[in-house]
């Protein structure tokens, strides 16, 4: 007998703060990836679907986003990090 199925896991990618479209509050938004993998004898083999979501920490409102939006958010976070590093360096001098 062959036992197969799927398993879904969520992976947190980043946290970003912006105005939530649901509760209209500036709150932390969790960006995460939900991967569904095909399993054989309960062993995950390969992904059958990958989806991206953003969830508001304040109200729990969840929106599906695409990979491009994820990249955009990640770029935004990286830029913020660079700016923060520069600020710290300027303050140190």
Binding site for Zn ion (CB under 5 A): 20, 22-23, 56, 58-59, 61
Cβ nearer to Zn ion, comparing 16 with 59: 59
The minimum distance between CB 26 and Zn ion, in angstroms, equals: 10
In order of 7, 16, 24, the CA distances from 73 in angstroms are 27, 8, 19
Torsion of CA 35, 38, 44, 45, to 10 degrees: -110
The minimum distance between CB 14 and Zn ion, in angstroms, equals: 17
The minimum distance between CB 17 and Zn ion, in angstroms, equals: 11
């Amino acid at each position: 007998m062959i036992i197969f199925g799927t398993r879904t896991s969520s992976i947190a990618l980043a946290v970003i703060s912006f105005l939530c479209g649901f509760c209209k509050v500036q709150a932390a938004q969790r960006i995460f990836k939900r991967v569904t993998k095909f399993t054989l004898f309960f062993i995950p083999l390969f992904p059958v679907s990958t989806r991206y979501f953003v969830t508001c920490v304040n109200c729990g409102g969840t929106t599906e986003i695409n990979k491009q939006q994820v990249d955009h958010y990640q770029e935004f976070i990286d830029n913020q990090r660079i700016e923060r590093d520069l600020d710290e360096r300027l303050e140190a001098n």
